[in-house]
């Protein structure tokens, strides 16, 4: 089990849905504001393609694990921190369509404030969701 605490950089939307994307990203401490600005710019883009909530959070309390931890998971280097992010979607079909449109129109480009080769992500279906709908 990996656990840790994160300080919110961006939290946009009311949330809810039957699908979520999760991401871990190593970000240089010196580029924190650049990352926050990128996240703030992209949150409305995700929402425009159907996401119900976008959260980007900066590592604040990331204990060292015995076998692995957040830093080791992304091979964080000296001077880097870990960002944990998630995007909630109404369902997987909306997520798949949203990502396809986003990559076509708003895909990655320019100077990214992190090393994308050490970023990882995945799609998740909720097991427990206590949010009233």
Q: What digits encode the pLDDT tens for the residues 38-95?
A: 999 999 999 999 999 999 999 999 999 999 999 999 999 999 999 999 999 999 999 9
Can you say how many angstroms the Cα of residue 29 is from the centroid of all Cα atoms in its chain?
Answer: 17
Can you say how many angstroms the Cα of residue 117 is from the centroid of all Cα atoms in its chain?
Answer: 15
CB-count burial class (<10 Å; 0-12, 13-18, 19+) for 73? middle
Exposure letters 52-64 (e unless 16+ CB within 10 A, then b): bbbbbbbbeebee
CB–CB of 18/93 below 8 Å? no
Instruction: Measure the CA–CA gap between 35 and 20, rounded to whole angstroms.
Output: 21
Residue 109 has pLDDT above 70, yes or no: no
Instruction: Measure the CA–CA gap between 38 and 61, rounded to whole angstroms.
Output: 23
Mean pLDDT of 83-112: 89
The model's pTM: 0.90
At 80, list the tokens.
């880097």
């Amino acid at each position: 089990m990996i656990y840790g605490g994160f300080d919110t950089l961006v939290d946009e939307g009311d949330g809810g849905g039957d699908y979520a994307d999760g991401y871990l990203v190593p970000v240089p401490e010196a580029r924190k504001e650049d990352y926050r600005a990128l996240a703030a710019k992209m949150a409305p883009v995700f929402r425009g393609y159907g996401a119900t909530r976008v959260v980007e959070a900066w590592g604040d309390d990331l204990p060292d694990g015995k076998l692995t931890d957040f830093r080791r998971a992304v091979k964080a280097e000296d001077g880097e921190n870990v960002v944990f992010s998630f995007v909630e979607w109404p369902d997987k079909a909306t997520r798949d369509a949203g990502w396809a449109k986003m990559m076509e129109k708003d895909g990655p480009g320019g100077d990214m404030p992190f090393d994308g080769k050490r970023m990882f992500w995945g799609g998740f279906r909720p097991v427990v969701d206590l949010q009233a709908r």
